A = this chain, B = another copy of it.
Amino acid sequence: MDDALSRHTGYSLRRAAGAMIGELAKRLATIDLRVTEATVLLLIGDRRNLTASAIGRTLDIQRANMVPLLNRLEASGLITRQAIDGKSQAIVLTPAGLDRRARAETVTQAFEADLIARVPVSHRDHLLPALDVLWR
């Protein structure tokens, strides 16, 4: 097709990620979540006493950009901020947050299954390890 770009792994990576995120965003919109919001909910449910800064470090989101993100989740009643000490706050899921998180897990797991199903079997087990080395 576009021969100047068809053999570029970087280009394919960009296009694949774009297509994937677009599709996931559509599915998460049905439960009123953005991709980044769902990612935060999934992470929080897994750990305890996570601060905004710690979440940001794990997800590679700037400290400053966590603020409006968490503000929205708090305004939606999905999280609360609980003081750990005078400086840090734990981000905690509310009952509504736990419920939304469960629904996000259902959506993302179905999405994952559909995504992986599209990859030919011969390549399937290579994709995740190959991707991981590019950012971990």
Q: Give A contacts to B, CB under 8 Å.
A: 1-5, 7-21, 24, 35, 39, 42-43, 45-46, 58-60, 108, 111-112, 115-116, 118-120, 122-124, 126-136
Contacts and interface: CB of A to CB of B under 8 A. Distances in A.
27 contacts: A1-B58, A2-B46, A4-B42, A8-B108, A9-B115, A9-B127, A10-B112, A10-B115, A12-B128, A12-B132, A13-B131, A15-B60, A15-B135, A17-B18, A18-B60, A18-B135, A20-B134, A115-B134, A118-B133, A118-B134, A119-B133, A120-B133, A123-B129, A124-B130, A126-B126, A127-B131, A130-B130
Nearest to A42: B4
Nearest to A15: B135
B42 A5 contact: yes
B39 A135 contact: no
Nearest to A35: B14
Contacts of A17: 13-14, 16-18
Q: Work out how many copies of this chain go into the complex.
A: 2
Q: Which of A127, A129, A132 is the most central at the interface, judged by chain B CB atoms within 10 Å of its CB?
A: A127
A132 to B, nearest CB: 6
A126 B128 contact: no
A46 B3 contact: yes
